[in-house]
Amino acid sequence: MPRVVESSTELRQKLLRAGQVGLVPTMGYLHEGHATLIRRARAKCDTVVVSVFVNPRQFGANEDLGRYPRDLDRDLRVAGEAGADLLFHPDVDTMYPPGYATTVSVGGVSGPPEGTSRPGHFDGVATVVLKLFNLVQPHRAYFGEKDWQQLAVVRRMVGDLNVPVEVVGVPTVREASGLALSSRNSYLTDEQRGRAVILSRALGAVQEAALSGELDTARLRQAGLDVLGQDPEVDLDYLTVVDGDMRERGRVENDPMTRVLVAARMFGVRLIDNLPLWPEGDPA
């Protein structure tokens, strides 16, 4: 079972002779996706730290901060079984003490699509991630590719600010049905999760069109929209095809960084997912 650390002072003490440190930043309610990140860190690092902090600065005024799932006992079990050494569980005052007035803002990749739908979200993400990097001082940090734009933001921040951390992206872990694992899946019933698979099916349709030789972005997008239109419960936020700089272009190129991203509400729950248009090794 990993040791729970709540203060920054104790955290620094525990990491004095920690060797190569791997950090897995999370908001808790850990699942197999998080466990995969922890196992990746365990394979490469001497000490693995999992942070569990529901960051209020990345939630909008009408989002689910108050009801976001929390279960520290579950987090300890999942983290321990995956091989974590420390679980850093600070409170809000530790991360944002009274008078706190600094925000990290990353330009470019923090805009559309997600940054437009959730203004200020990536400022909150970049701020808390940089604070965690400063507190833990990891050699490597592990992030899931399900939050593709978040990963792009963190990579840009690390590059722009010369942060000495290797950012490792780990492929999305999915349920057997194809639904991307997410803590917010806990809001859905089994039947609703079954219907939410339509999001990954839509992404797959776009990917299939690209693999068949389609390069026109509008036609690629339409392939996904045709699938999403089959369920009236889909309240689409966006379905977009972007390059590595999160830009949508008229035509796509066969590049491993080209992705199709989707965000939609189903049954009152906002879900996101993405796929590469060309999985590594597949020709256009």
Catalytic center residues: 34
Contacts of 27 (CB under 8 A, 6+ apart): 52, 53, 54, 55, 68, 183
C-alpha span between 113 and 241 (Å, rounded)? 10
Q: Rg (Cα) of the chain, in Å, rounded?
A: 19
Which residue, chain included where needed, has tokens 């189903």?
266
Q: How many CA atoms lie within 13 A of 5 on its CB side?
A: 22
Q: Which helix (H) or strand (E) holds 186?
A: none
How many Cβ atoms sit within 10 Å of the Cβ of residue 3? Answer: 12
C-alpha span between 242 and 13 (Å, rounded)? 43
